[in-house]
Copies of this chain bind each other. A is one copy, B any other.
Amino acid sequence: MPTITFLPDNVTVQVEDGENLLAAAAKAGVYIHAYCGGDGVCGKCKVQLAAGELRSDRANLKAEEYDKGLRLACQSAVVADVTIRIPEQVSKNGKSLKAKPKTTRAISARSLDHLIGSWQVAPPVEKRFLALEPPTLEDNVPDLQRLMRAIKKKCHDCAEPTYDHPELLMELPFILRQANWQVTAIMLRGKRAEEPDRIIAVEPGDTTGNLYGLAVDIGTTTVCGVLINLNSGEVIAEASAYNDQIGCGEDVISRIIYSQRPGGLKALQEKVVHTINAVIDTVCTKVMISPSDISYIMAAGNTIMSHLLLGLNPKFLREAPYVPTCSHFPLTRAAALGIHAHPSVRLFLYPAVASYVGGDIISGVHACRMYKSPELTLFIDIGTNGEIVVGNEEWMVCAACSAGPAFEGGGIRHGMRANAGAIENFHIHPQTFEPMIITIDRIKPCGICGSGLIAIVAELLEAGVIDQQGKFNRGLDHPRIREGADGYEYVLAWGKETLMGEDIAITEVDLDNLIRAKGAMYAGYVTLLESVGMTFDDLDRVIMAGNFGAYIDLEQAICIGLLPDIDRDKFYYLGNGSMLGCQISLTDHVRFRERMIVSSLITNLELSESAQFMSHYMASLFLPHTDMSLFPTVQAKLPEGRG
Chain A residues with a Cβ under 8 A of chain B? 135-146, 163, 165-166, 169-170, 172-174, 177, 310-313, 315-316, 320-328, 330, 332, 352, 354-355, 604, 606, 608-609
Contacts of A138 in B (CB 8 A): 606
Pair A311/B170 contact, Cβ less than 8 Å: yes
- Selected from B139, B146, B330, B604, the residue in CB contact (under 8 A) with A166 is B330
Pair A145/B327 contact, Cβ less than 8 Å: yes
- Selected from B135, B316, B325, B352, the residue in CB contact (under 8 A) with A323 is B135
* Known contacts A321-B135, A321-B137: A327-B606 contact under CB 8 Å: no
Rank and list the top 4 A-B pairs by shortest CB-CB distance, nearest first: A144-B326, A140-B321, A142-B324, A137-B321
A240 to chain B, nearest CB (A): 27
Contacts of A330 in B (CB 8 A): 163, 165-166, 169
Contacts of A166 in B (CB 8 A): 310-312, 330, 332
Pair A142/B326 contact, Cβ less than 8 Å: yes
Contacts of A144 in B (CB 8 A): 325-328
Please name 23 pairs of A and B residues whose Cβ atoms are closer than 8 Å in the assembled complex, sorted by A.
Answer: A135-B321, A137-B321, A137-B609, A140-B323, A140-B354, A140-B604, A140-B606, A141-B327, A142-B324, A142-B352, A143-B323, A143-B324, A143-B325, A144-B325, A145-B326, A146-B323, A163-B330, A166-B310, A166-B311, A166-B330, A169-B326, A169-B330, A170-B311
Contacts of A332 in B (CB 8 A): 166
Contacts of A321 in B (CB 8 A): 135-137, 139-140
Pair B141/A323 contact, Cβ less than 8 Å: yes
Distance A183 CA – B78 CA, assembled complex (angstroms): 69
Contacts of A604 in B (CB 8 A): 140
* Known contacts A137-B320, A321-B137: A313-B174 contact under CB 8 Å: yes
Distance A213 CA – B634 CA, assembled complex (angstroms): 72
Pair A169/B310 contact, Cβ less than 8 Å: yes
**New contact pairs (4) apart from A142-B323, A142-B352, A173-B313, CB-CB < 8 Å:** A140-B604, A140-B606, A141-B323, A166-B312
Distance A313 CA – B169 CA, assembled complex (angstroms): 9
Contacts of A172 in B (CB 8 A): 325-326
Pair A173/B316 contact, Cβ less than 8 Å: yes
- Selected from B142, B173, B354, the residue in CB contact (under 8 A) with A327 is B142
Pair B137/A606 contact, Cβ less than 8 Å: yes
Contacts of A322 in B (CB 8 A): 137, 140
A167, closest chain B residue (CB): B311
Contacts of A316 in B (CB 8 A): 143, 173, 177
Pair A173/B315 contact, Cβ less than 8 Å: yes
Contacts of A135 in B (CB 8 A): 321, 323
A164, closest chain B residue (CB): B330
Distance A606 CA – B313 CA, assembled complex (angstroms): 55
A136, closest chain B residue (CB): B321
Distance A325 CA – B172 CA, assembled complex (angstroms): 7
Contacts of A608 in B (CB 8 A): 137
Distance A333 CA – B178 CA, assembled complex (angstroms): 30
A168 to chain B, nearest CB (A): 9
Contacts of A326 in B (CB 8 A): 142-145, 163, 169, 172
Distance A310 CA – B173 CA, assembled complex (angstroms): 14
Distance A507 CA – B67 CA, assembled complex (angstroms): 123
Contacts of A165 in B (CB 8 A): 330
Distance A446 CA – B157 CA, assembled complex (angstroms): 63
A170 to chain B, nearest CB (A): 6
Contacts of A142 in B (CB 8 A): 323-327, 352, 354
Distance A310 CA – B172 CA, assembled complex (angstroms): 14
A174, closest chain B residue (CB): B313
A339 to chain B, nearest CB (A): 14
Contacts of A169 in B (CB 8 A): 310, 312, 325-326, 330
Distance A608 CA – B138 CA, assembled complex (angstroms): 11
Contacts of A328 in B (CB 8 A): 144
A146 to chain B, nearest CB (A): 8
A265, closest chain B residue (CB): B170
- Selected from B137, B173, B320, the residue in CB contact (under 8 A) with A325 is B173
Contacts of A312 in B (CB 8 A): 166, 169-170
Pair B170/A313 contact, Cβ less than 8 Å: yes
Distance A137 CA – B354 CA, assembled complex (angstroms): 11
Contacts of A177 in B (CB 8 A): 316
Distance A326 CA – B332 CA, assembled complex (angstroms): 24
Distance A55 CA – B174 CA, assembled complex (angstroms): 65
Distance A310 CA – B144 CA, assembled complex (angstroms): 15
Contacts of A354 in B (CB 8 A): 140, 142
Contacts of A139 in B (CB 8 A): 321
A321 to chain B, nearest CB (A): 4
A172, closest chain B residue (CB): B325
Distance A307 CA – B137 CA, assembled complex (angstroms): 20
Distance A234 CA – B473 CA, assembled complex (angstroms): 87
A334 to chain B, nearest CB (A): 13
Distance A173 CA – B102 CA, assembled complex (angstroms): 47
Contacts of A174 in B (CB 8 A): 313
Contacts of A327 in B (CB 8 A): 141-142, 144-145
Distance A142 CA – B330 CA, assembled complex (angstroms): 14
Q: Which of A143, A311, A609 has the most CB of B within 10 A?
A: A143
